[in-house]
Structure 1
C-alpha cells in the first residue's frame, strides 16, 4: 500500500511539472525559424511530364523497286545532303539489258545509214544474217513445240506451258517470214517503208534504253532532304520489295518536342501555353517553348512501371536557342497552364490540412492562430490564397507539430 501511494504521489508530481513547463513555454513563446508577411505576387500553375526531342522536318527515304541491297552508304548520325546516295541494289541484270538496248540502237542506226546504197552487198549481207538468225530461232521454236506436245500428252507439263511454246513458235515463224521479205526487198531495192521501219526501230530501242536507265536509277536510294540519318530501317544483303522504308532523314536544326499528357490533365493545356524544358542532356540550361499542337484523341501508352494510361500527344515548339538539343533526347517539361499576377500568395510549406480544410497559422498579437483558407492555383513553391488572408498579415512559414493554438510565437 505504501508503494502504491508513493507511485501516485510521484505521478502527480510529474504531471504537475510537465503542465508547469508547458504553461511556461506557452507564456514564454515558441521560437520559430521563419515568419512571413502575406503579400501579393505572381504565380504559375503547371503540369510536369517528359518529352522527346524530334525533328519537325523529316522524311522517309523509300526503295522504289524489288531486289537485293548490295551496299549501304549511310548510317545513323551521318550528315547527308539532298540527292546523296544512301544505298545501292543489285543492278547486274539491268546493266546487261542496257548494253543490249544500246547495241540495238547502234544496229538500227547502221541499217538506216545503209538504206541509201541500193542493193549494196553490205545491206544484203545484213538482211541475210537476219534471215539466218530468224531461221535458227524458228527451228529452235519448232523443236521446242514438238517436245512440248510430247510432254503435254504425257502429262509432264501444263496446258499453259504448251500454249507458251505454240506462241513462241508462231512468233519465230512470223519473224522468219519478215526477215525473208526484207531480204527480197533489199535485193530488189530499198523502198521508203524500210527506212521508216529502221527509224521506228531506233525510236523503240531508245525508249527501251531510257526505261532501263530509269530502272537502274531506282536501284539507288537518295536522300530526300538535307539533314541527318535518324533511323536506318534496312540491312545490307537483305532482299526487299518496292515501297520498303529504308531511312528516316531529319533536319537537326529544326527541332520540336513531343510529350504525352495524361488525359486527366489535358483539359488544362491550351495552344500557346509556355513550356519550360530542362534535364540532364542540356545541363543547367532551361529552354522555353510553347504548345503548338494538341492531338484530337488520346492513345493507350504503357508507362515504365507497366501501367496502361490514356495520354494525349502534344507538340512543343522551341522558341529559345536550342543548340544543345539532339533528336532522341528525353527531357523534363513544365507546361504553364495558368498565370496569375498581383494575387495573394503564400509559401506552400505554410499550408497544412486540419479537419479536412486547408489552414495556416496566423501570428495574431504574438500568438499562433489557426486560420482556414481557400486555395487557388498552385506552383512548385507557392499557393494562391483566394479567401482567408489579407495582405500584411504575418504567418508561420514552416509550422511543425509543436505549434499549438494560442501559443506565443517568437521569431529567431
Structure 2
C-alpha cells in the first residue's frame, strides 16, 4: 500500500510540474518567427525540362567523287560558313588541270609576234569573265531554289527569300552583260583568227574552268554558321555526287522543345513567358516565350520507366544564344500567371485546420487561428485573396507546439 501511495504522489508531482511549465510558457510567451503581410509580385509556373533544337537544319551533300581523304569535323563541332568539312582525292583532276593550262599556254605561244595577239587576249579575258559570271549565276540559282524550300517549310523569313531573289537577278544580269561584251570583242576579230586560235583557246579555257570547278567539288564546305549535328560519311570511304555527308544546325535559329505533362499543359498558353536555366549555361538566366503547342499528346516513357502522356511545346529563345548548343538539356519555368501588388505570404505559414486553410495571426500578443483563401501559388510564396490585410503579422513557420490563444514572444 505504501508503494502505491508513493507512485501516486510522484505522478501527481510530475503532472503538477508539467502544468506549471505550461502555465509559465503561456504566461511568458512562446518564441516564434513572424512575418508582416505585404503586397508584392508572384508568378505561377509549370516546371519541366527542355532540349535545345535548331529550327534551321541543313543537309550538306558531296558534289564531287573519289575517296574521302580526310574529315575535318566531328559531331558537336562548331563551324563557320566556308569552313572545309571534308576533302576527297584530287590526283586525276590535278593532272587534267595541268594539261588544260599547258594547252592554253601553247595557243598563246602561237600568237606571239602576230598583230592579232592583243585581240585574242581580249577575247580570252572576256570569255573568262563570262565563265565567272556563269558560275555565279548557277550558284545564285541553286541558292534561290534552296531558299524557296526553306521558306515553304517556315525555316527562313520572307526577307531572306527576297534577298536571294535579288542576288539571282543580279547574277543573271551580270551574265548577260558579260556575254554581250564577249560578242562585241569577237565582232572585231578577223575571221581567220576566229577559226584557228580562238577555238583552241576557248576550248582550253572551258576545259580548265571545268576541271577547276570539279576540283572545288572535291571538298565539302559549311554553307552556314552552325554545329555539326550528324556525320553520315567515313574517312577512306568512296564519295559520290549526291551523297549526304553532314547535318548542320544553324546556331542563329535555336529554340527549345519541351514535353509537358498533359495534366499541366492546359495551363500553358501561346505567348507565356519562360525562364530558362541549367548547368549547361552556368548561373545565366535566359528568357523565352511559348510559340507553339502541339494539338495532341504523345506517350513518352520517363527515365523511371513510367509511361506518360505529354504534349510537345516549342519555346522561342530571346537574348544571347552563344551560350547554347543543340541538344543541351535545360530547366524551364513557364509563367502561366503573374500578379503584381497582391498580398503574398510564405507557404510555410499556411496549414490545414478542420478542412480549411489557415494561418496564425498575432493579435494582442496571442496566436489566433484565422481561415484564409488562397490565390495562385509559386515555389515558396502563396497569394492570399481573402482573410488577411496588409500590415498584419502572422507566424512564419508554426509547429505543433503552437496553440490558439498562446502568448507570443516575437
Question: What is the deviation of 1:61?
Answer: 2.3
Question: What is the deviation of 1:238?
Answer: 4.8
Paired residue for 1:26?
A: 26
Q: Distance in 1 between matches of 2:50 and 2:290?
A: 12
The alignment partner of 1:306 has SS state of coil
TM-score (norm 2): 0.64
Paired residue for 1:398?
A: 397
Question: What is the deviation of 1:72?
Answer: 2.8
Say if 2:371 is the partner of 1:372. Answer: yes
Q: Distance in 1 between matches of 2:248 and 2:226?
A: 6
Q: Deviations over 1:207-266 (max 9, x none)?
A: xxx999999988765534332323323333457898764312123244322222112111
Shift in CA distance, 353/84, structure 1 to aligned 2, threshold 3 Å: same
Q: Deviations over 1:327-360 (max 9, x none)?
A: 3322222111100122221111111223333221
Question: What is the deviation of 1:307?
Answer: 2.0
Q: Deviations over 1:164-209 (max 9, x none)?
A: xxxxxxxxxxxxxxxxxxxxxxxxxxxxxxxxxxxxxxxxxxxxxx
Q: Distance in 2 between matches of 1:348 and 1:242?
A: 65
The alignment partner of 2:16 has SS state of helix
Task: Please list, as runs of the form range in 1=range in 2, the aligned pairs for 1:13-412 lying within 5 A after superposition.
Answer: 13-32=13-32, 34-62=33-61, 71-82=70-81, 86-87=85-86, 221-238=220-237, 245-411=244-410
TM-score (norm 1): 0.64
The alignment partner of 1:74 has SS state of coil
More deviation, 264-273/318-327: 318-327
The alignment partner of 1:271 has SS state of coil
Larger Rg: 1
Structure 1 vs Structure 2 CA RMSD: 3.8
Q: Distance in 2 between matches of 1:63 and 1:302?
A: 38
Shift in CA distance, 270/89, structure 1 to aligned 2, threshold 3 Å: same
Q: Deviations over 1:91-121 (max 9, x none)?
A: 999999x99xx9xxxxxxxxxxxxxxxxxxx
Q: Distance in 2 between matches of 1:392 and 1:224?
A: 63
Q: Distance in 2 between matches of 1:79 and 1:280?
A: 20
Is the 2:48–2:333 Cα contact (8 Å) retained in structure 1? yes
Unaligned runs of 5+ in 1: 103-209
The alignment partner of 2:248 has SS state of strand
Shift in CA distance, 311/93, structure 1 to aligned 2, threshold 3 Å: farther
Paired residue for 1:130?
A: none
Q: Deviations over 1:349-380 (max 9, x none)?
A: 11122333322111122111112222111112
Shift in CA distance, 65/321, structure 1 to aligned 2, threshold 3 Å: closer
Q: Deviations over 1:363-399 (max 9, x none)?
A: 1221111122221111122101122222232211111
The alignment partner of 2:372 has SS state of strand
Is the 2:342–2:383 Cα contact (8 Å) retained in structure 1? yes
Q: Distance in 2 between matches of 1:358 and 1:248?
A: 56
Q: Distance in 2 between matches of 1:301 and 1:244?
A: 33
Unaligned runs of 5+ in 2: 101-208
Q: Distance in 1 between matches of 2:239 and 2:353?
A: 68
Paired residues, number: 311
Shift in CA distance, 284/217, structure 1 to aligned 2, threshold 3 Å: closer
